[in-house]
Amino acid sequence: MESMTLKCPVAIKAKVTEGLKSQMAAEIQDAIKKADMELQQIDFHAKRVMAEQVKIDAQGLTGLRQQIEAERQKRIDFKNHMVERLKETAGLEIGSEVVQGNMERFITVSVGDDLHKMMNAEILLEDGKIIAFRA
């Protein structure tokens, strides 16, 4: 066999601009608002479900409370994480690079190729446009 085709990851990085910082902050703020809405919905439904549970079986109330509190805590933890990310986003320096995700590509390798160099491919974006390929 002279060559082989492999699927390997490509890191997608973005150059930090004011536009990117604004976009990232807006997405994070939307996630925070969604978490707040979910918390309100949980509280609203919890009152109704707990009132129904009392009528059916008061002993099941403790388990139901724990379940509701666990769901609330998940949302609170997520919201706190998003608040931290918002602070990190505000602190990003213009011109620095941030990883935005990964994609995959197919490469053909042959005997003697530097596999490490081929595996470390990156695409650099600036305001959504490709400005560089790095290998």
Tell me: the pLDDT tens digits for 30-46? 999 999 999 999 999 98
Three-class SS of residue 92? Answer: coil
DSSP letters for 16-38: --HHHHHHHHHHHHHHHHHHHHH
Q: What are phi and psi of 36, to 5 degrees?
A: -60, -45
β-pair type (129-134, 122-126)? antiparallel
pTM score of the predicted model? 0.74
pLDDT at 77: 97
Q: Identify the segments of the chain with pLDDT beneath 50.
A: none
What lies within 8 Å, CB to CB, of 15 at 6+ separation is 95, 96, 97, 124, 125, 126, 131
Three-class SS of residue 93? Answer: coil
Q: How far apart are CA 68 and CA 89, in angstroms?
A: 32
